[in-house]
Homo-oligomer: A and B are copies of this chain.
Amino acid sequence: MREEALHALFRNAFPKRRGLTGPGDDCATLRPPKGSLLVQSVDQLVEGVHLLPTAGPSAMARKLLRRSLSDLAAAGAKPWAVQWTVAAPTEKGGAWMRALMHAFLKEAKVWDVPVIGGDLSTAPHVVLTCTVMGLARKAPVGRGGARSGDSIWVTGKLGGAVESGRHRLPHPRLAEGRRLLEKYTPHAMMDLSDGLMADLPRILRASEVGATVYGESVPCNTKASLASAVAEGEDYELLVVLAPRQARRASSDALLQKVGWTEIGVIEKRKGLRWKLDGTLWKPQVKPWGHTW
């Protein structure tokens, strides 16, 4: 199968959208609508790292896009356009490649986000990347605004994403992220891709504050241990820091309550992350998620 035929697939699938041009030229062009802010994020999916080698091309394509969309959710943005890259061995064959392409296009349609471009290369191993562009009505809140006295919230339930297989098809909290950004002005917001133990300290460092998290408050998935809920990644739930008044307002939000909306801790002046379980200090006996070079 010639590369040209694969390109044609994407040119033909491109839906006409105001302000966007599609695949076919060296560059795509983007004209964000007035009053909208363009936000952008990039993510990777490596065969054997983010999915088992036994995962088929369709599972890879779906997880790839959903993980990236989760970053837009954390920015409170609406998906607008996507660009991707595929590096794969020619030995995978044409059927595999077509299945990957069709699955990505299908998933992009599910989330109503046009594929504006991409790049394809041979490689000894499958590495996919996905760049998502979103439109936000307000500037994303980022990680640096948490203040002492704020409360810490999470959407949904945590833990066991890998063991249960949930990590294969995460559900980006897009509607929830937009609701939070537009209505409750969070002081910090991010998606939980590496787990509370790794991700919360990122907010604390960026905001130059500390926190206490109450283990008994952490919402755990069925069959997931508390250790897994605080230390494992791949949940793709939102981690949100709110001022007390906004937290009270958000606590009764029906959209948030529908997916689960739980207060798990408090931001404090004293730096570092402390854990409590039923009133006493607790130290999760697990290593945080992550890579080392």
Contacts and interface: CB of A to CB of B under 8 A. Distances in A.
A257 interface: no
Contact of A290 (B2, B72, B93): B2
A286 interface: no
Nearest to A86: B44
A127 interface: yes
Given A27-B39, A30-B40, A90-B293, 4 more contacts: A3-B293, A27-B140, A28-B39, A42-B129
A143 interface: yes
Copies assembled: 2
A273 interface: no
24 contacts: A3-B290, A24-B142, A25-B140, A25-B143, A25-B190, A26-B71, A26-B75, A27-B41, A27-B74, A28-B39, A28-B40, A29-B140, A30-B37, A30-B39, A40-B116, A42-B85, A42-B129, A44-B85, A49-B121, A87-B127, A94-B293, A119-B129, A123-B127, A124-B125
Contacts of A31: 37-38
A106 to B, nearest CB: 19
B42 A119 contact: yes
A260 interface: no
Given A129-B85, A290-B2, A41 B26 contact: yes
4 closest pairs, A vs B, by CB? A127-B127, A25-B142, A26-B74, A27-B75
Interface in A140-171: 140, 142-144
A194 B37 CA distance: 36
Which of A46, A116, A136, A144 has the most C-beta atoms of chain B within 10 angstroms of its own C-beta? Answer: A46
A13 to B, nearest CB: 17
Given A29-B139, A75-B27, A3 B291 contact: yes
A55 interface: no
A14 B139 CA distance: 19
A121 B291 contact: yes
Contact of A292 (B2, B134, B191): B2
Interface string A49-78: 110000000000000000000011011010
B117 A42 contact: yes
Given A26-B191, A129-B129, A83 B117 contact: no
A92 interface: yes
